[in-house]
């Protein structure tokens, strides 16, 4: 019984190989002399990237009400507010800028009440951006 199964399996594999070889040969013996414009590969489009991250204080705590603004490069004028609780392990409730062009930098400025503003130049990437803001000096 086992030898019969092996023979049947060998026949199936042989049939598959024959079908595959036949499909590679094709139905026509004439080959085109040059590719038509429609068969040329389309230029590869770049995939949009995002910039996201968190704004924290020196202790590592999220700063409620922090605003991040694009002040240079692509997306100038766009703003994003930190939207909820965040930390280094879950930066997705921080700020985000979507649909950016890869390879083109942008300059971000983070501000928050009671803290000094900070600027960073970043590239759209898959890594989160972390702004660590110092407390503003107290007025006397």
Let me know if residue 33 belongs to a domain. Answer: no
Boundaries of domain holding 60: 49-133
Let me know if residue 117 belongs to a domain. Answer: yes
Predicted local confidence at residue 8, as pLDDT: 44
- Strand boundaries in 46-94, DSSP class E: 49-57, 67-73, 79-81
Let me know if residue 44 belongs to a domain. Answer: no
Give the CATH number for residue 97: 2.60.40.1120
**Residues sharing a CB contact under 8 Å with residue 1, sequence separation 6 or more, in sequence order:** none
Predicted local confidence at residue 93, as pLDDT: 78
Predicted local confidence at residue 126, as pLDDT: 81
Q: What is the mean pLDDT of each run of 10 residues along the chain (140 residues)?
A: 43 46 49 54 68 92 92 96 74 85 96 96 90 88
Regarding pTM above 0.85, the answer is: no
* Dihedral, CA of residue 126, residue 127, residue 131 and residue 132, to nearest 10: 170
The total of structural domains in the chain comes to 1
Predicted local confidence at residue 1, as pLDDT: 46
Name beta bridge partners: 99: none
């Amino acid at each position: 019984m086992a030898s019969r199964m092996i023979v049947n399996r060998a026949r199936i594999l042989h049939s598959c190989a024959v079908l595959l070889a036949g499909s590679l040969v094709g139905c026509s013996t004439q080959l085109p002399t040059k590719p038509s414009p429609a068969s040329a590969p389309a230029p590869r489009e770049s995939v949009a990237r995002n910039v996201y991250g968190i704004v924290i204080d020196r202790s590592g705590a999220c700063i409620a009400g922090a605003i991040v603004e694009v002040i240079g490069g692509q997306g100038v004028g766009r703003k994003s507010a930190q939207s909820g609780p965040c930390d280094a392990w879950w930066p997705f409730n921080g700020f985000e800028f979507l649909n950016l062009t890869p390879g083109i930098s942008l300059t971000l400025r983070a501000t928050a009440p009671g803290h000094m503003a900070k600027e960073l130049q970043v590239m759209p990437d898959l890594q989160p951006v972390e702004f660590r803001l110092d407390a503003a000096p107290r007025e006397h």
